[in-house]
Chains A and B, each alone.
Chain A
Amino acid sequence: MKHRFVRSISLLVSLLLAVSILASCQQQTATTPEEPTASDESKKTEVAETPQDKTDSENAEQKSEQNTEMVKADDYVPKVNKEKVFRATWGSWPKPPQFQGNPFTQGGVGEMGRYVFERLTQIVRSTDVIHPILATSIEHSERESVIKLRDDVTWNDGEKFTADDVIAAFYLNPRTICNYLTKVEKIDDYTVKLVWQDPPPFMELRDLLIAQDGTMNVPYHIFKEYVDKAKSIYESARDATPEELAVARTAFGKKLTEEQDKALSDNWNEMMKLTYPKPIGTGPYVVESVTASDAVLVKRDDYWAADQIYFEKIHHITGTAESMLGMLRNGTTDIYNGSLPKDLAESILASNKDIVFYPMFDPACHVLFFNQRREPFNDVNLRRALVYALDRTKIREGANYYGKEFPISMVGMPPSSLETYVSEEMRAKLTKYEYDPEKAARILEENGWKRNKDGIWEDKNGKTYSFTIAVNAGWQPAGVVDTAASIAAEQLTKFGFPTQVVAVDSSVFWNNAAKEGMYDMVIEWGDITWSFMYPWSPLNNTFKGGPSELMGLPRDPETNRVNLKVKGPDGTEVDPIELVDKLPVTADEEERQKIIDTLVWICNEYAFGANLYQNTTGVWLNRKTITGLPMEDEIDKYNQFMPVGRNFEEIVDIAELNIGFADMYVIWSGDLKPR
Chain B
Amino acid sequence: MIKHLAKRFGIALFTLILASFMTFLILRAMPGDVVEMMSRSEAQSRGISLEDARKIVVNMLNYDPDEPILRQMARYYGGLLRGNLGTSMYSRTLTVNQIIAETLPWTLFVLSISLILSFFIGTRLGMLMAWKRNSFINPVISVYSIITTAIPNFIFGILLILIFGIKLKWFPLVGAYSPNIKPGFTLEFILDVLYHAALPILTYVLTSVGMWALQMRGAAMNVLGEDYITAARARGIPDNLIRKRYVKKNAMLPMVTHLAMSFGTMVGGSTLIESTFSYPGMGAFIAQATAQRDYTMMQGMLLVTSFAVILANLIADLLYSKLDPRVKTEG
Chain A residues with a Cβ under 8 A of chain B: 3, 6-7, 9-11, 13-14, 16-17, 19-21, 23-24, 94-98, 104-107, 175-176, 212-214, 248, 265, 268-269, 272-273, 275, 288-296, 315, 317-320, 322-323, 326-327, 329-330, 332, 505-508, 510-511, 515, 530-531, 537, 544-546
Question: Are B179 and A291 in contact (CB-based, < 8 A)?
Answer: yes
How long is the Cα–Cα vector from A466 to B148 in the complex, in angstroms?
41
Tell me the number of A-to-B contacts counted with CB atoms below 8 Å.
Answer: 194
Question: What 10 pairs across the A-B complex have the smallest Cβ distances?
Answer: A507-B32, A293-B175, A292-B280, A531-B47, A293-B278, A319-B174, A294-B179, A106-B90, A293-B174, A326-B166
Residues of A within 8 A of B33 (CB): 507-508, 510-511
How long is the Cα–Cα vector from A496 to B209 in the complex, in angstroms?
53
How long is the Cα–Cα vector from A104 to B91 in the complex, in angstroms?
11
Name which of B49, B156, B206 has the most chain A CB atoms within 10 A of its CB. Answer: B49
How long is the Cα–Cα vector from A96 to B102 in the complex, in angstroms?
8
Q: Tell me the nearest residue of chain B to A507, going by C-beta.
A: B32
Question: Are A545 and B288 in contact (CB-based, < 8 A)?
Answer: no
Q: Tell me the nearest residue of chain B to A97, going by C-beta.
A: B102
Residues of A within 8 A of B143 (CB): 14
Q: How far is the CB of A503 from chain B (nearest CB, A)?
A: 14
Question: Are A291 and B47 in contact (CB-based, < 8 A)?
Answer: no
Question: Are A176 and B47 in contact (CB-based, < 8 A)?
Answer: yes
Q: How far is the CB of A476 from chain B (nearest CB, A)?
A: 12
Interface assignment of B60: CB less than 8 Å from any CB of chain A: yes
Residues of A within 8 A of B161 (CB): 322-323, 326
Residues of A within 8 A of B32 (CB): 505, 507-508, 511
Interface assignment of B7: CB less than 8 Å from any CB of chain A: no
Residues of A within 8 A of B144 (CB): 10, 13-14, 17
Question: Are A291 and B280 in contact (CB-based, < 8 A)?
Answer: yes
How long is the Cα–Cα vector from A203 to B59 in the complex, in angstroms?
33
Knowing A9-B121, A105-B92 are in contact, say whether A295-B179 is a contact too (CB < 8 A). yes
Q: Could you list 12 examples of A-B contacts with CB < 8 Å?
A: A14-B141, A20-B162, A98-B90, A272-B60, A296-B180, A318-B174, A319-B278, A326-B173, A330-B165, A332-B169, A511-B36, A537-B47
Question: Are B163 and A97 in contact (CB-based, < 8 A)?
Answer: no
Question: Are B140 and A14 in contact (CB-based, < 8 A)?
Answer: yes
How long is the Cα–Cα vector from A320 to B329 in the complex, in angstroms?
50
Knowing A175-B46, A212-B47 are in contact, say whether A292-B175 is a contact too (CB < 8 A). yes
Residues of A within 8 A of B284 (CB): 95, 292
Residues of A within 8 A of B25 (CB): none
Interface assignment of B37: CB less than 8 Å from any CB of chain A: yes
Question: Are B279 and A21 in contact (CB-based, < 8 A)?
Answer: no
Binds A, one of B124-132, B229-237, B307-315: B124-132
Contact with A along B68-105 (1 / 0, CB 8 A): 00000000000000000000111111100011001000
Taking a contact as CB atoms closer than 8 A, the residue among B36, B125, B163 that contacts A510 in the complex is B36
Q: Tell me the nearest residue of chain B to A269, going by C-beta.
A: B59
Question: Are B140 and A11 in contact (CB-based, < 8 A)?
Answer: yes
Question: Are A323 and B173 in contact (CB-based, < 8 A)?
Answer: yes
Interface assignment of B178: CB less than 8 Å from any CB of chain A: yes
Taking a contact as CB atoms closer than 8 A, the residue among A17, A24, A508 that contacts B147 in the complex is A17
Knowing A106-B90, A510-B37 are in contact, say whether A320-B49 is a contact too (CB < 8 A). no
Residues of B within 8 A of A104 (CB): 60
Given contacts A10-B128, A106-B90, A296-B179, 10 further A-B contacts (CB under 8 A): A17-B147, A19-B163, A24-B158, A24-B163, A332-B169, A507-B30, A507-B31, A507-B33, A511-B36, A546-B43
Taking a contact as CB atoms closer than 8 A, the residue among B44, B89, B132 that contacts A530 in the complex is B44
Question: Are B173 and A319 in contact (CB-based, < 8 A)?
Answer: yes
Q: How far is the CB of A5 from chain B (nearest CB, A)?
A: 9
How long is the Cα–Cα vector from A290 to B102 in the complex, in angstroms?
14
Q: Tell me the nearest residue of chain B to A540, going by C-beta.
A: B49
How long is the Cα–Cα vector from A575 to B93 in the complex, in angstroms?
47
Residues of A within 8 A of B163 (CB): 19-20, 23-24
Residues of A within 8 A of B99 (CB): 97-98
Question: Are B124 and A6 in contact (CB-based, < 8 A)?
Answer: yes
How long is the Cα–Cα vector from A332 to B175 in the complex, in angstroms?
14
Residues of B within 8 A of A505 (CB): 31-32
Interface assignment of B270: CB less than 8 Å from any CB of chain A: no
Taking a contact as CB atoms closer than 8 A, the residue among A3, A13, A329, A507 that contacts B293 in the complex is A507
Q: How far is the CB of B135 from chain A (nearest CB, A)?
A: 9
Residues of B within 8 A of A272 (CB): 59-60, 92
Residues of B within 8 A of A106 (CB): 38, 60-61, 89-91
Q: How far is the CB of A228 from chain B (nearest CB, A)?
A: 18
Question: Are A315 and B179 in contact (CB-based, < 8 A)?
Answer: yes
Q: Tell me the nearest residue of chain A to B45, going by C-beta.
A: A530
Residues of A within 8 A of B124 (CB): 6
Residues of A within 8 A of B48 (CB): 175-176
How long is the Cα–Cα vector from A106 to B159 in the complex, in angstroms?
34
Residues of B within 8 A of A265 (CB): 59
How long is the Cα–Cα vector from A318 to B60 in the complex, in angstroms?
25
Taking a contact as CB atoms closer than 8 A, the residue among B37, B47, B52 that contacts A507 in the complex is B37
Taking a contact as CB atoms closer than 8 A, the residue among B160, B176, B179, B275 that contacts A320 in the complex is B275
